[in-house]
Chains A and B, each alone.
Chain A
Amino acid sequence: MGKKILVVDDDPDVRTFVVTVLEENQYTPLVACDGVEGLEMIQKHKPDLVILDVLMPRGSGIRLYRQLKTDDDLKSVPVIMFTGIALRSFLKSQKVLEEFKGEKVPEPDIYLEKPVEPQELVDAIRKKLA
């Protein structure tokens, strides 16, 4: 069995794609459709990596990312942000939240802007899990 990788994305097409990429590269895919389900899955399955969308209903990727990075048990779980939102916009939203909440979370290690080639995604995963 390969390493467990959780895909959190509300778009079923993206989930199918990422799951297929993961299967092709001998990883064990897990899926969640939104932020709430994503957090449950992370707590339950302790995945080796989370591939996280930003814009989702029911607890956005932004919220889930902050939840992970401020939870002592979970903050070590590597996260690849995988989204249609430009990094610049994402960082700006983080900055606003940091000022608002007065807490600082690290920037995501890897930020992939959709669309990505399957190989780019695999490279990113490998780099992170190495």
Chain B
Amino acid sequence: MSANKILIVDDEQAIVRLLSMSLKSDGYDTCTAASGEEALDVFEKQSPDIVVTDIKMPGMDGLELLKRIKERDPDKEVIIVTGHGDIDSTITALQYGASDFINKPVRDEALAIALDRAQTKIRIREQLASYTQDLEEKVAEATVEIRRKSNFQRLLIHSSHDAIVAFDQDWQIVVYNPEAARMFEKRARNVLNKMTIDALYPPELATFFRSEARNGTHDRGEMPWKEMTLETRNNKQIPVRYATSVLHEKEEFMGIVNFFQDLTEIKRLEKELIQSERMAAIGQTVSGLAHYVKNILIGLKGGSYVVDVGFQHSNMEKVKSGWQTIQKNIERVANLTQDMLTYAKERHPEVKLCAPNEIVTEVKELVSDFAKAHDIEITTRCDPEMGQMWLDPGTVHRALLNLVNNAIDACMEEDDLDRQFKVEIRTGKTEAGAAVFEIEDNGCGMDEETRLKLFTPMFSSKGGKGTGLGLLVTKKLVEEHHGTIDIDTRLGYGSLFTMTLPERPEKGRDEK
């Protein structure tokens, strides 16, 4: 039994003894005092749980004793024994924190009930104290854990290779890690809880996120990774990959968090890789080219020999035919040089307002003599709606010429001599407004294997007559123009090349 020790205070020795005996027989441990002063002394020494004191005593009375005890330990229970009708003392005793009253003469039952209540009170208080302490310990533990976790998360954010920036519901910056500081070139202490989204991001981006957050159209508030060029407030252009999460708590907007990955280095490496691949291709191409160049040399030497002979015999026919050979081979050298330069260099389309149909006519003019000489008919079917478009006329010209020349070569390769060979160039527009050029021939066509190898460097199906650069250059030009080339071909029946070029490719790139 807890709260077992009881101090009995009364100036009447008989009552003290009587009560003491009675309580002892109930199993309590008792101590006694005959005055207030003595009681305090015993209280100090024995530290009883409950004090039962007479109110009227000479010297220090019960009320004073009550007051002193409560001062020393408010958790001790004091039961006041009063005479009948002493209302004033009762009220004072209540004010001092007495736990109960029993009237004189003290009856056993009344005392038992009062003690019982006092014990219950003590027990509850003890339990409460234990609960409180338990709770405090738990809170302390939880606090440590929370601090540890929050530290961990803080470190996580701090050491992330992604720039992390988060905004609260008022668009104030609440998370801003060192990588973000590096990217945006602003110190964390000038930014955190001081700046809003508008001060950190370029205006379009800030507007974009604000509207995204309002719309909240995203599943779970997440937007997929995207790429863009981040223009910082210091006018630095950084290629980045970024993701956004719109944060909600119970449907309510809490803020957003952005993750940015700096792609500068990756882009640089990518560029280097492309460049070195291109250089490797040129390297591979060199051995193949040697053959092609040798053919040109043969043409030039042969041509000049024929010219010499023509002069010796004053045979103008000979001179003319030799000179034609020389001119043709000069043209081949010029084209080869142009192809190599085009392929080796990174180049941006030079977009101008131009008429695609006119370019088609130019290309047709260029090849028509040669085609005629080989019984190949060149036709065009141009969409009159094409009009003027924002394209790189150089790209269109060169790509078309390459494709048409290939189509003519394909006709010359075909074994079926009964066929009337034709090359048709068509123009049109896609629904999105991109220019479409179709070059169709009924020449030899290609098998699957050849088709697959078409765009690999130094692949030529024309023996020594091809450099292996033509389609490669065409593809590069078209890709730089953000266009596509599709091939539909059947061995022995001909090929259809479809080239699609969007207008204003520079603009298209920025939107990506």
Contact = CB atoms under 8 A, between A and B. Distances in A.
A114 B295 contact: yes
Given A16-B322, A58-B415, A115 B301 contact: yes
Contacts of B303: 13, 16-17
Contacts of B306: 16-17, 20
> For the complex, would chain A's binding face be called helix, strand, loop or mixed by DSSP majority?
helix
Contacts of A11: 295, 298-299, 465
B463 interface: yes
Contacts of B359: none
Interface string B283-300: 000000001001101110
B318 interface: yes
B239 interface: no
Interface in A22-58: 23-24, 36, 55-58
A12 to B, nearest CB: 8
B412 A57 contact: yes
A21 B325 contact: no
A interface, size bucket: 20 to 34
A130 B465 CA distance: 34
> For the complex, would chain B's binding face be called helix, strand, loop or mixed by DSSP majority?
helix
A14 B299 CA distance: 7
Nearest to A18: B302
B162 to A, nearest CB: 56
Interface string B444-473: 000000000000000000011100000000
Contacts of A12: 325
Contacts of B465: 11
Given A17-B305, A20-B305, A55-B464, A84 B294 contact: yes
Nearest to A33: B412
27 contacts: A11-B465, A13-B299, A14-B299, A14-B302, A16-B303, A16-B306, A16-B321, A16-B322, A16-B325, A17-B302, A17-B306, A17-B325, A20-B305, A20-B318, A21-B305, A36-B415, A55-B463, A55-B464, A57-B412, A58-B415, A84-B291, A84-B295, A84-B464, A85-B464, A114-B298, A115-B302, A118-B305
Interface of A: 11-14, 16-18, 20-21, 23-24, 36, 55-58, 84-85, 114-115, 117-118
Given A57-B415, A84-B294, 7 more contacts: A13-B298, A16-B306, A17-B306, A17-B325, A84-B464, A114-B294, A118-B305
